[in-house]
């Protein structure tokens, strides 16, 4: 995970960004440190950002909505980016899947709350301050609980303990951080009390109306049932839309193949499995020779059709366990788990030969199939998954420089 320098985020008592002292609605404590420098740095920044935004909305009457939106967007983007980086740290360390799943579920719940409550927070920020306070306290509790457990497990794994053993030791020895938990529970109780007061008032008003307005109540119940049915329908549509969005975010629209984002996730997964089990792992970089001429000569629609067909050929010509990804343009990446360099070279040559024997229609003409491919196998000297892709890219450069329509191997 890359290190990012902290950015100053302070607010004065009036709630506007300034260089003054930060209003700490959720107090940072050295006990929250995990010992993982990049994670700790991002944690502190994120807590500061929560403080800054909560302080800002406490005086929101004088703050333009665009400024609130900018600050909220900054908070949400950074939270999502931090959680993604933290998950990459856990994947790199091969942390036990049971911890990883619980950890990521908490991340997703936090982001979903920020997304779902965005409109109410920005429309009536002063009344939504309690929500931001609760989320901030939750974040501190998460840091002192789940993240501390993550750090201890990573330290144990790096010391030689198997991931499952590190997880079991953490479960048996973990002690909660009392103060942050108490703050979080207090915030939650405050919210529940406020909601309960509102509910009691609503019930009293309803009882007064029931005495002389039975028919009106029956009508209201009918409307309520209809609204509940509509709510269920909309909830189902929302769930389906969210799933479609998730799939769309991981899939290349043109070819239907995994896109760059999903490719990076599968790369990390195969990399971790290869290191953990000592199995080979190779990848192939693929570039379509002369593709730019198709776009220039016959137009982008013709070029898109060539890319679609090329993606279909690559997927059909690889094993079921291989993952073919479109990185963009005419670049593809093939991930080959449990495959050594010799096996990957054989597959790359097979792909090259199959495409070379293919003539793909392109507008009024055709693209005479030609691929340049670069192959690399994971080496112990490689420190991160990107090193494997870089090595394959060097092989691709060798193939291009040697005249194209070739398979190259990058230098170690």
Instruction: Return the bridge partners of 328, or none.
Output: 331
Per-residue pLDDT, 286: 96
What tens digit of pLDDT does each residue of 290-328 get? 888 888 888 888 889 999 999 999 999 999 999 999 998
Instruction: Return the bridge partners of 362, or none.
Output: 365
Identify whether the C-beta of residue 7 lies closer than 8 Å to the C-beta of residue 118. Answer: no
Identify whether the C-beta of residue 277 lies closer than 8 Å to the C-beta of residue 225. Answer: no
| Distances in whole angstroms, Cα of residue 363 to Cα of each of 303, 306, 371 | 8, 10, 20
Identify whether the C-beta of residue 91 lies closer than 8 Å to the C-beta of residue 268. Answer: yes
Residue 282 CB neighbour total at 10 angstroms: 28
DSSP one-letter code for 147: I
Distance CA 29, CA 139 (A): 13
Min mean pLDDT across 16-25, 59-68, 248-257, 378-387 is at 16-25
Structure-block tokens of residue 392: 């394959």
For the chain, the first-to-last Cα distance in angstroms comes to 23
Residue 411 CA neighbour count, 13 Å, CB half = 2
Distance CA 120, CA 273 (A): 44
What's the CATH fold of domain 260-409? Answer: Alpha-Beta Plaits (3.30.70)
Min mean pLDDT across 10-14, 43-47, 122-126, 199-203 is at 10-14
What is the sign, positive or negative, of the torsion defined by CA atoms of 140, 144, 145, 147? positive
| Catalytic positions | 330
What is the sign, positive or negative, of the torsion defined by CA atoms of 85, 101, 142, 65? positive
Identify whether the C-beta of residue 61 lies closer than 8 Å to the C-beta of residue 237. Answer: no
Residue 72 CB neighbour total at 10 angstroms: 20
pTM of the model as a whole? 0.44
In this structure, whether the domain defined by 10-194 belongs to CATH 1.10.10.60 is answered with no
Estimate the crossing angle of helix 148-158 against helix 163-173, to 10 degrees: 140
Q: Looking at the predicted structure, is the pLDDT value of residue 24 above 70?
A: no
Distance CA 335, CA 258 (A): 11
- From 307, 289, 298, 292, select the one nearest 252 (Cα to Cα): 307
Per-residue pLDDT, 136: 73
As to burial, measured by CB atoms within 10 angstroms (0-12 exposed, 13-18 middle, 19+ buried), residue 353 is middle
Instruction: Return the bridge partners of 335, or none.
Output: 283, 323
Of 75 and 132, more confident: 75
Distance CA 311, CA 321 (A): 16
Of 115 and 93, more confident: 93
Per-residue pLDDT, 23: 57
For the chain, the C-alpha Rg in angstroms (whole number) is 28
What tens digit of pLDDT does each residue of 327-377 get? 989 999 999 999 999 999 999 999 999 999 988 888 778 888 899 999 999
Structure-block tokens of residue 19: 């260089």
| Distances in whole angstroms, Cα of residue 243 to Cα of each of 39, 81, 91, 250, 357 | 29, 21, 23, 11, 39
């Amino acid at each position: 995970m890359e290190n990012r320098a902290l950015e100053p985020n302070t607010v004065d008592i009036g709630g506007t960004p300034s260089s003054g002292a930060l209003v700490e609605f959720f107090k940072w404590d050295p006990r929250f440190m995990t010992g993982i420098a990049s994670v700790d740095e991002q944690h502190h920044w994120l807590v500061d950002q929560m403080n800054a935004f909560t302080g800002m909305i406490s005086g929101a009457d004088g703050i333009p909505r665009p400024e609130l939106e900018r600050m909220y967007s900054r908070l949400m983007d950074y939270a999502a980016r931090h959680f993604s980086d933290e998950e990459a740290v856990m994947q790199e360390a091969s942390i036990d899947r049971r911890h990883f799943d619980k950890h990521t579920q908490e991340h997703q719940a936090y982001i979903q709350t920020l997304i779902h409550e965005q409109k109410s927070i920005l429309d009536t920020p002063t009344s939504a301050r309690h929500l931001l306070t609760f989320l901030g306290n939750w974040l501190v509790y998460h840091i002192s609980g789940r993240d501390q457990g993550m750090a201890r497990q990573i330290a144990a794994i790096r010391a030689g303990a198997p991931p499952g053993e590190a997880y079991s030791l953490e479960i048996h020895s973990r002690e909660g951080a009392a103060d942050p938990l108490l703050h979080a529970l207090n915030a939650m109780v405050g919210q529940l009390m406020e909601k309960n007061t509102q509910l009691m008032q609503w019930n009293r008003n309803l009882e007064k109306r029931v005495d002389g307005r039975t028919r009106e109540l029956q009508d209201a119940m009918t409307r309520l049932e209809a609204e509940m049915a509509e709510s269920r329908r909309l909830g189902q549509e929302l769930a389906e839309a969210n799933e479609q969005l998730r799939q769309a975010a991981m899939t290349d629209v043109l070819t239907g193949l995994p896109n760059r984002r999903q490719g990076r996730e599968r790369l990390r997964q195969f990399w971790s499995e290869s290191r953990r089990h000592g199995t080979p792992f190779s990848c192939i970089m693929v570039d379509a020779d002369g593709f730019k001429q198709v776009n220039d000569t016959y137009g982008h629609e013709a070029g898109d059709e060539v890319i679609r067909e090329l993606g279909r050929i690559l997927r059909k010509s690889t094993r079921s366990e291989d993952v073919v990804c479109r990185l963009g343009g005419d670049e593809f990446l093939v991930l080959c788990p449990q495959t050594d360099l010799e096996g990957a070279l054989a597959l790359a040559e097979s792909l090259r030969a199959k495409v070379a024997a293919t003539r793909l229609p392109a507008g009024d003409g055709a693209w005479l199939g030609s691929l340049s491919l670069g192959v690399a196998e994971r080496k112990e000297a490689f420190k991160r998954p990107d090193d494997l892709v870089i090595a394959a890219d060097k092989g691709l450069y060798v193939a291009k420089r040697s005249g194209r329509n070739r398979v190259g191997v990058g230098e170690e």
